Structure formats: C-alpha cells, structure tokens
Chains A and B, each alone.
Chain A
Amino acid sequence: MAHAQKIVGRRAGDRVILGAVIFLAFLWVVPVLWVLILSFKANSELMLSTGSAFRLPYTLKNYADILASSGVFRWFFNSVVVASLNTLATLILASLAGYGFARTEFPFKNVIFVLVLLGLAIPEQAVIIARHQMFTDWKMHNTYLALILPGLSNAFGVFLMTQYFRSIPMDIDEAAMLDNASRFKIFWRVLLPLTIPAQATLGIFTFLACWNDYLWPLISATKPEMFTLTVGIASTQTNFAQSEGLGFLMAQAVFAGLPVFIVYLFFQRYIIQAVAGAAIR
C-alpha cells in the first residue's frame, strides 16, 4: 500500500516536472516561432501592425532578397571557413595544452596555469584595440588568419580539457606504459578517445561562438568580400529596419541561425552526452 502510494506520488511529481518543462520549453520556443512567422510577412504589412503575422498572405520575398544580395554566399563561405578552422585548431591546441597541464610536470606549471585561467576573466573588449593595432602592424586585416588566430587563445578550452584529463584515472596511463606505449601514443590512442564528450562540448561552443562573433570581424574584416555572415547580413539592413524592414530583419535572423540549428540537429546526441557527462563529473 505504502509502495503504491509512493509510485502515485512519484508519478504526480513527474507530471508536475513535465508540465513545468513543457511550460518553459513553450516560453523558449514562442519568440523563435514569432521570428519565423514574421520572416514570411511583407515588410509593409508589418510596419502597420505585427498582428498581421497571423493572417494571409505570406511571402518568400524576404528570403529571396537575402539570396539576391551578391555577397551572401561569399559571407556564408567565409563563416564556414573561419568557424570550422577555428574549431579544429582550438580542439587540437586545447587538447595538447590540457594534456600537458594534467599529465606532465614542467617548471612553473602552476603559475602558467593560473595565467591561462586569468584569460577567462579578461573580456575581449578590453584587449581589442591592442589586438587591432597588432594585426595592423602585421598587415593582416581582411585575411582569414586575422579572423581565426585571436580565437585560438581559448582559456576556457584549456581549462575544460585540463579538468577532463585530470578526471581520467592515472591507472590507464600506467597500464599503457606497461605495454610499452610512448607518451604520444598514450595521448593519441588511449586518452584522447576518452575525452570525446569534452571535445564535443568544446567544439560546439567554439563553433557557435565563432559563428556568432560580430565585434572582431566587424573591425578586422572591413572589405565586403571578407565579411563573415553576421557582419555581411547586418550591412544589408536598411536604416529603419526595425520598423520598415521587420520581415527582412527576421528572415536574416533565420538565415543566419539555420546552420547553427542544423549543427544542433545532427549533434544533439553528443551535446546531451557532453553536458550530462560534464555534470556528472
């Protein structure tokens, strides 16, 4: 009897939690759906009232206008190149650095690690003028390298990978050493595969941050042919876009967000595993 009551109580509790989750999901999805609906409405209609969003007619003109912009595919390509290479390079560097901090001994290791962690506390805006000057001196603005290199000093990535490597028992390294494996082989063949959840987390966060980055591309990639998607799409907005071009503005948001959405769709299993794994650890 008590057991049955417990089950009923648990079910009621589960329902409350489920209801709360559905409610929160609804709150989250409403603005997204609102953006989507507005993107299919004519600007002139929305200028008078956004209430027209729920009435016919709908149009694809806003999307056609985006695609008609001569630079859009180039900007898309630039974003793919920059975000992909940045993610790849960050994963390599953060893994190597994380392994180094977690598994090796070298002079001033702790001091250097603290210096790396300090990088987490310094916002990009605080160093952006000095960074811009540095790339000016190197004559590197309006290049892919200028868009990729600053992202590689990823303090969060190094910290995450260090913590992850530390959480892997040393017994594994020792067992591999007994089998005569070299240090690189232990890193590459044994430990690195165990860090896939952390790599997935870091990879996704890095890709998203890079894809959505606006400030640095805005002032470094100043030639239209080097714009990333965020900067390029923003440049196509009219001066009073929020009133006279609302539908176009929303279509731009959908267009820019679509690749990220697709990344989530394909990698959601890894994302959940990664976040859950990180939480458990």
Chain B
Amino acid sequence: MKILSTILLAGAALAGGVAAATAADKTEISVSRFFGACEADYGNVTDVAKANGECGIITALINKFNADSPTTHVKVDIVEWPGYDQLTARIRSGEPPTISVMHEAVISDYSSRGLLEPLDKGFKAVGVDTADFTGAAKAGVTKDGQIYALPFDTHTWLWHVNLNLFKQAGLVDASGNAILPKSADELLAQAKQFKEKTGKPYFVSTLANEKAFYYRTFETLLYQQNSNFFADPTKISLVTPEAKTALTLLKTIFDKDYTTKNEDYAASVAGFSNGEGGVFICGTWLVNSYDEEAKKPGVALSNGYAVAPFPQLYPGSPKVWADGHSWVILKANLTDAQRKSAYEFLKFLWDNDFQWSRTGHLPTSQKILTSAEFMALPFRKVLSPLAQNGTALPAGVKRQFGAQDMEGEEIAAAMRGDKSIDDALASAQDRINTLLANAK
C-alpha cells in the first residue's frame, strides 16, 4: 500500500512537473473577465459543447484554448461584474491585464484616453473577418473609424411571453401564437383586457433596486419614434415630444396597475416563472432558462413560453436598446510574442462565437447568425433580426453607464409620481449633460 502511494505521488509530481514545464514554455497572457467562477463544474472541461451558461462556456473555452495552443497560455483573472473600477486601478498602477472583457457601451471611455489598442491590422493578420461583424456588433466596437474590440455578443431587450395566460386572456391567434400589440393604444387595450380576464397585470417588471428596465425600455420607445436624442454625442435631448410620449406610456402602465410593482430583478425573474403576469420585458440571457422551465409539467410556463422582439408600438424604426460583451487589448508594453498570443486568443474566441451564442446572447458573426446550427437553437429564428436592429448609444457618447443610470432614476421618479413627467425629463437632460460636459 505504501509502495503504491509512493508510486502515485511520484507519478503525480512528475505529471505536475511536465505540465508546469509545458506551461512555462508557452507565452503567458492574462485575461480579465467577469461571468463568475465555476471551477467545481467546469474546471477541467475542454469539450465546450458540454458546458452551459456564461460561466461554464467561457471557462470551457479558455480550458480548451490552453489545452490546444502550442504557444500560448491564458492566465485568467476573474473579477466581480462589471469590474471597471478594478480595471482602471490596474491600468493606473501600470499592471493592466493583456486582454479584458468590456461592455461595448464602455469602450469609448477607454479608447478616447488612448488606453486600448486599435485591432484592425491585427485582425486582418490573424484572419478575423471584420466584414462578417453584424451591424450591431460593428457599431458597438468601432470608435472614430477604428475597431477597438472583438465583439463577442449582442444582448438586447425582449418580450418574454406567458402563452398560458395570454390564452386565458384571449390574446392568442388560431395557431396559438401570442397576439402582440402594434401600437401604444393597442397595448393599453390588451393590458386592460388581460387584467379583466386573468386578474393579473399584463407586465412583470423589474422596477425596484434597478435602473436598467427604465432606460432600456425608454430608449427603445424613443428609437421607435425615430427620436435622435443623441444627435450631438456630447449632449442629450430629452425635453422632446417623443420622450414625453414614451414616458407618458410607461407612467400610464404604472398608474393603471398594468404591471407588477416593487419587484427587484430576482423577484421579477421568479415572478414571471410563477405566472404573475403575461409579459416580462427583459434580456436575451433568460431565453434558455425559461425555455427549459416551459418543458417541465405542472408549472406556470408549462408548454406556454414564447419570446419575441420588442413589438413596434410607434411607426418608426425597429431599433431596440442593445449592448454587447467584447474583448479589448489594453495598451501596455507587450512583447511581440505576447501581442501575437493575444491575437491568437481573440481569433480563437471569434471562431467559437457559436458556442457563446448558446448562452442566449446573439452572435456577432453574420455567418453564425444565419447558420443552421444557430437557427436550430430555441427561438433564435425569431430573434435573429435583433443582431441588426439592436442599437447602442452613438460611439462618441462617453460615460454611457452613468448617463443611463441617471436616465433610469428620473424615469422611475416620474413613473412613481415623485416628479411630473416634464420635470423628470428636464432633470434627466440637465444631469446627463452636466456629466457629459465634465467627461474627458
């Protein structure tokens, strides 16, 4: 027994030594990312097809890259979402990661200060075809005519629908599909009918402890009215008839109790699962979870889940709020070998964008978007136009997260009656413009 233990220990030590030597021979680059840690489930998985969820898929992807690449080893630094305080601190202290995940809405804050490497030439060299980027992806990573990031996904705003409740409300067609509104008036009429027939609110909404619902929905309603609220990227225009129309609709929904109230993100996600309302306006990332839930018997969504792009309520553009995850190379004193390894890793991620699209996010490659394997995933056919219609704020707008938070706060104040609609819009405009005036 003792001999066996000794042999096993020696073997393990030898294997460890060989692995260490192999890793040491490779060029190491560091990759900073959020999406959490899931080593217990996916620490050793290299078959990406076996991984699920954001954390699982990105973990498996990096495992596979490290296993397959003869030249590069990726060291992962996992940070808490969204991680920008830490990233900025790392840059300031002169120890930035080689590559970092970054929301497309944030890129201009870094690129405008010269902190990111332009990637056009590098992409050409390694064979990332930028012409294959989807419209939303290309707009998201292009600043001042240069590409600063590898787009990884587009995530956008959807209507998750409880078909069982829609049926009860008489809002399905002969084929059992949900009849979605085609105008604001039709929406309010449907909401009234829904409430009368089911006794429940039409919407489940995340109205507590979060600002995302407010500004994402509001911006979508502005796009639908062709409002160019950021004609000048350094100034927002919210004291407009379009903004008033959008906010009036949201306030009417709130005042007439056509939505759940006081639910935070977790409560509203669970609330929709439990049949608290007919429509949950939320993101692409929930499609898989609800689709799985609908396959279970005896639950509120059993055989009764559908998802659709945000319905066109106004006769304008079909654009909808969107953002995207992307990967940037931070400007640092990279060696040629490190730079080569960084591009090798980005190319690998690009080649595996389909795997990432299994999370529910939309792919950034046209080829994948139109591929049979992507279309075979649940609901992707109906959602694929969003890869074009998904729209971020213009590239020149800085401090997008901060500006949208302010927008959300003021819309919330108006919906809850703490401010008049006019006051809230004026206040949002003033606050955001002050922020942007001070943005370097």
Contacts and interface: CB of A to CB of B under 8 A. Distances in A.
B270 A48 contact: yes
Contacts of B36: 235-239, 241, 245
B274 A218 contact: no
Contacts of B440: none
Contacts of A231: 80
Contact of A235 (B41, B43, B80): B80
A132 B89 contact: yes
A175 B54 CA distance: 71
Contacts of B265: 240, 242-243
Given A231-B80, A243-B266, A219 B86 contact: yes
Contact of B270 (A50, A136, A224, A240): A50
Contact of A220 (B35, B55, B89): B89
Interface stretch (B62-70, B91-99, B172-180, B242-250): B91-99
B35 to A, nearest CB: 6
Interface of A: 47-50, 61, 64-65, 68-70, 132-133, 135-136, 141-142, 218-220, 222-224, 231, 234-246
Interface of B: 34-41, 43, 53-55, 77-81, 85-86, 88-90, 92-95, 264-266, 269-270, 273-274, 285, 289, 293, 299
B208 to A, nearest CB: 12
Given A47-B289, A48-B293, A222-B86, A236 B270 contact: no
Given A223-B77, A242-B265, A236 B37 contact: yes
B80 A238 contact: no
> Chain A interface secondary structure, helix, strand, loop or mixed?
helix
Given A47-B269, A243-B265, A244-B289, 15 more contacts: A48-B299, A64-B40, A132-B89, A141-B89, A219-B85, A220-B89, A222-B77, A222-B93, A223-B95, A236-B36, A237-B81, A239-B285, A240-B285, A243-B266, A244-B53
Contacts of B95: 141-142, 222-223
> Chain B interface secondary structure, helix, strand, loop or mixed?
helix
Given A141-B93, A243-B266, A243-B269, A236 B35 contact: no
A217 to B, nearest CB: 10
A238 B39 contact: no
Contacts of B79: 235
A235 B37 contact: yes
A244 B290 CA distance: 12
